[in-house]
Amino acid sequence: MDNYTAPINDMLAALRIVGIDDLLALPDFDKVDVAAIHDVLDGFGALAENVIAPTNRVGDANGATLDTATGVVHTAPELAEAYAEYSRGGWTALSAPEALGGGGFPAIAATAMREMFGSANMALSLNPVLTQSAIELLERWGDDRQNALYLARLIDGRWTGTMNLTEPDAGSDLGAVRTTATPLDGDRWAINGTKIYITWGDHELTDNIVHLVLARAPGAPGGTKGLSLFLVPKVLVDETGALRGRNGVHALALEHKMGIHASPTCVLQFDDAVGELVGPLHNGMAAMFSMMNPARIAIGLQGVSIGERALQQATAFAAERRQGRVGAENPGPIAGHPDVQRMLLDMTVTVRAARRLVYATSIAVDVAGHHPDAEVRIAAQARADLLTPLAKAWSTDEGVRLASLAIQIHGGMGFIEETGVAQHYRDARIAPIYEGTNGIQAIDLVGRKVARDGGAAMSSLITEIVATVDRADAIPALADAASSLRTATATLTATTAWIVDTFSSATSDVFAGATAYLGLAARCAAAEILLREAVEAVETAEAGEGTDADAVVGSAADAARLAAQVTFFAAEQLDSAPSAASIMLGAGVLAAGLA
């Protein structure tokens, strides 16, 4: 019951509704079509199902170990074998530019691929997530030499990458970073300090690791403005890329974690480690955001991944577990119990909604980077910036909730480790925390993404939501969902205006309601995509009258299913969404309640 099947059909449906056809019509993707995307999903889906997924329980049970004498981390051999197949297959280079040896596919193709990787083994998938983020950083900020030596080897999977921000006294407040960088000869710097929570900070899957490290150079101003970014390889390399001996960085310890046991989370010590500057001096945060933003989308995707894996296991269990009587004399599968059906439908439609929200975010990044019209690129970047905190925070919160529902469906067996379903909950729980806690995502949303532009990006999204609601109003099967979304969107409109008007004068009041506001915005954005998809399905079914009977029946059945799902989502997620009162409650109530 712990098998995984790649949900190719719904992934393709999600890609279509968020605009894959329009994206592939752009000049930069003239060599890619939907059939090629389908082939990619099929090919990687087979790898995820047959090679990566079987390592999930093995990695959880065995974890990672540290040889304290050498500072070398060891993982289960099965993980190295799975990674090797992933790398040999060229999957690491899917979305890299062809000029750099990549496949030239849009980032959304890699996003869909990473969803399957995360479902198959979330802990192992973190390794290529950080590597991909390192690739995107170096593509923008690396110089020609760095790209020749390091970028090419990250793209082809020979080396992996890490992100080194957090320190014992510098968590979310990176202005407190104490790691130092001292100039040596030429372009070299000596890096000294300690970094914690470094995902896949050391391992034996590849023969080198490229650490990207925030540090403070002499004479730097205080706070985040004084941080610079340095590339520090685990193993030093010469100008040909040949390995030349261990650098001054090693793992001091491994964190003992609640979940993602297969992923070595390291305390790294830098002792005169040789590094080189990436980007301008004292501009480290700007460069690091090039790594953090794609990582946040990738972490939001983990909510989808873990929700899908938990859903599949819960569905299989409910079909086999016979308990109780519902309209029959003999016990039947618990899948026939209305309350179990409620939970399964909740999981099904929420996974679909989160998948579409994350995919929409990823495709906006593609449009922002590749559309030939500058104005379209700017608008797409604003949309990507707006959706990123929604996709990261709401999807990961829902991933935790769905993993918990899967345990509930299993009953007592869900609380027993041998069924494997508890692992999904333990693994999911980190996602709302790392790459910027979900509370930080909410603060980022109201401050940088709403108040800063006067609500323009959110207003653009609201306009699209209202247009979809107007289309759905005329369809009886979608009337209830449309009404719920119209009401929720009115609240979103009013609270957006309040944030814009209030932020500068009462920032704490806005921050007090930021998480509630994010929850409302994410639900509205996800519901709009589900509703639009249902509208198009109904319109297609109605237009199919008089054509092939089997096609009409299938189309009508699909339309009815999607209408039922969006109606359920609206009742469960929109009608109970955060209210204007909860968003505008104010910081004073919180302080008084805790006094």
Which pLDDT band holds residue 101 (cuts at 50, 70, 90)? confident
- CB-based contact 98:108 (threshold 8 Å): no
The pLDDT assigned to 548 comes to 63
Residue 400 belongs to what H/E stretch?
Answer: helix 374-410
pLDDT at 176 exceeding the cut of 80: no
How far is 4 from 6, CA to CA, in rounded Å?
A: 6
The pLDDT assigned to 171 comes to 64
Helices (H), 18-141: 20-24, 34-47, 55-62, 77-88, 107-120, 122-141
pLDDT at 149 exceeding the cut of 80: yes
How far is 98 from 319, CA to CA, in rounded Å?
A: 46
How far is 498 from 323, CA to CA, in rounded Å?
A: 51
Which of these, 129, 81, 115, lies nearest to 11 by C-alpha position?
A: 115
The most confident of the ranges 137-141, 221-225, 511-515 is 511-515
Q: Is the dihedral of CA 369, 375, 381, 383 positive or negative?
A: negative
Predicted confidence (pLDDT) per residue in 318-366, tens digit: 999 988 766 666 788 999 999 999 999 999 999 999 999 999 999 999 9
Quote the tokens at residue 520: 């409302």
- Count CA within 13 A, CB hemisphere, residue 338: 2
The pLDDT assigned to 68 comes to 85
The pLDDT assigned to 1 comes to 54
Which pLDDT band holds residue 555 (cuts at 50, 70, 90)? confident
- CB-based contact 226:282 (threshold 8 Å): yes
Query: Which distant-in-sequence residues (6+ apart) come within 8 Å of 252 by Cβ?
Result: 71, 194, 266, 267, 268, 269
**What does the DSSP assignment read for 499-526?**
HHHHTTT-HHHHHHTHHHHHHHHHHHHH
CATH placement of domain 290-443 = 1.20.140.10
Which of these, 349, 354, 380, 386, lies nearest to 365 by C-alpha position?
A: 380
The residues assigned a catalytic role are 435
Query: Which distant-in-sequence residues (6+ apart) come within 8 Å of 296 by Cβ?
Result: 388, 389, 391, 392, 435, 436, 441
**What does the DSSP assignment read for 271-302?**
EEEEEEEESSTT-HHHHHHHHHHHHHHHHHHH
Structural domain boundaries of the chain?
A: 54-89+121-282, 290-443, 453-594
Predicted confidence (pLDDT) per residue in 246-292, tens digit: 999 999 999 999 999 999 999 999 999 999 999 999 989 988 888 88
Which pLDDT band holds residue 490 (cuts at 50, 70, 90)? very high
pLDDT at 384 exceeding the cut of 80: yes
Architecture of domain 54-89+121-282: Beta Barrel (2.40)
Report the pLDDT averaged over residues 116-126: 98
Predicted confidence (pLDDT) per residue in 520-548, tens digit: 999 999 999 999 999 999 999 888 755 56
Predicted confidence (pLDDT) per residue in 448-477, tens digit: 999 999 999 999 999 999 999 999 999 999
